[in-house]
Structure 1
Amino acid sequence: MRKRLAFPVCAVAAFAVFTATACTEAEVSEDGAWSPSQPIEMVAPAATGGGWDTLARTSTRLLDEAGLADKQFRVINKPGAGGAIGWAYMAAHSGDPHKLFVTSPPMLLVPMTGQAQNEYTEYTPIARLATDYMVYVVPGDSPITSFDEAAEQLRSRPQSFAVAGGSSPGSMDHVAVAGASLAVGADPTELNYVAFNGGGEAMTALLGGHVDMGVTGGGEATGLIDSGKIRALAVSAPERVESMPDVPTLTELGYDFTFDIWRGVMAPGDLTAAQVEYYENLFSQLVELESWKVESARLGWVDSYLGSADFAQFLDETNDEFAEILDEVGLARNAGTS
């Protein structure tokens, strides 16, 4: 049925432009399966060097190296407004099956604070791939040597103790440090949170001495931690992370707070079932690759694969949970952009 419906679209387009004979019908096989007919854009809604960029480049590189996709991937960075620029770009390409984007908690959090116009429900969930955790870090030469010392700074001088994050106010990094502040007995509404366009920029600011502490995904910080350029004080995981075995969790330090960074892939809205199935199968094969498992271990990612339908349900449930978190730490919901 899908093939018969596709034919008139191609026929009409052919009257307008001869080359339109290579349109959607050509991508659908006799059995109704779909495959891409041109290179696939993988959009990272942030600058290079952060968690979204790392996920986009790692996943597409491994897919290309394994030859799993019918067409090659191209990573496109669309930084700005905590991800909103990239999401608006994807929303403008509804129905385009040759564009995907990587996603994580800001996809839900940023619209809640009125800083993005596009809700997660406007897009097509493809797969959740992994889970990461937040790590609280200071420069390698910082006089702060433990999270307890950082906690004291958050309590005693929150407005002068600057904390950098790679997402906009009210989004993932902000919630991660505000929640930790609440857990240590500090006032999260007094927090001096400095937002950057991605974890890479936040870490650059930290290394440059422009802020006192940073919060970022464990995968983004591993290399800098190993090099000694930054010092990890604590991680937001429920238990110690394999890639950072010497870094204590907040909970073992006596602070009742955890925060996980789920990482996944979405597409523009209005994809067909065949298009969703193609990408869902593609990413289910990715997470079984030995190369993916090696890279995941190196980056501190924990396997948490969900297919399209389960990922959609997870997003609905997590959206409700995040709404409660924002209320709990005193961050305004739907506050507008003024």
Structure 2
Amino acid sequence: MAFFRQYLTADEEAQIHQQFQGDIWRRNNQVLWSGILRDEAQRWADEHEMQTLTTAMGPLMDSSHPLCLRNKKSIKAWRQYIKGASAIFAWYISRGEKVTVLSPPPPERFHPSGATSYQAIEEPIIRGKLETRTVSRIEMVHPTVKGAENTHYQIWPVDETTTWTAKFGELNVQKRCWRVVKKRLLISTALNIRQFLLIGRSKREKRNIAKKEKKKEQKGSEEKKVAKEEKKREKEKVKLKQEREKLEQRVTLAMAGERPSLSKLIFQLLHALFITLIMLPHTLVKLLVQRRDEIDRKAADFEAVRGQLSTAVKERDKRIETQSDELVELNERYDMLERAKNSIGKEILKRKAELELVKRSLH
């Protein structure tokens, strides 16, 4: 944000935002302090598991950690860095509902100059004085008062200080010796923050107005464009209507000129159709007779062919029967020859045996 840049560079601001947006941030659990020692405030916050700026900054405030810039900055530059971190810390607190502030007890809780970091930077932010969001309530605790370390009471938007003083009384009867602060510097710081916020708001308003004007111009341009298109379509409709009327007139004239020839053509077609209808039965009968004669002729041809085939089949069957008888006769003759052959063979063997016996008897 622009009003942080007087203390922080863009990278430093982004680094702190990243730290506060992480898991370390616990909503409505932050502590601010003024008028007491930092160690006292830190000890009270630790005991109550709450977060001071040091707690929330984590490694960014630990001089032994490489992310901490304390050893890289001068004392003055480091103080400026802390102021910027305090402003961002307060800005994140303002997005919640409540915050706890530690201070000395009433009646003198804050520095009379009103120029401490809490009074000049943090409180204006959490109360929405610098055009920021605001917490719902600010609670006070006075840890330096024994027995009152855990007693909370509201100081804003409703001041309930009397509830605390009724219980503990006003303990600071003697005037406190406050440390000297650079009033002019801190007050100018608060004014600068407000100035940056107002400038930022003015720029945003100008941008919003410019956007609205641009949208309005675009809308007007689109409406003009639509109207122009509508007008163009109307002209086209009129033109098409005129062309249609001209075409209908031309068709009417053409029909009027061609009507006699069309009438003659229609008469000729009707006459031809009438003649065709009259001649159609005679033609159909003639075609049917021709078709019947053709069928009869084909049937006669078929019967002749069938007779020829029947005769040929009979002759073939007769030949087969004759050949079968001849084959039977041949088989019988073959059997007779085989029997004769066998008988002759046996006779030859018998004669050979007798011849052998004769030969043996002679020797």
TM (norm. structure 1) is 0.20
More strand per residue: 1 or 2?
1
More helix per residue: 1 or 2?
2
TM (norm. structure 2) is 0.19
Relative contact order (alpha carbons < 8 A, sep ≥ 6): 1 or 2 greater? 1
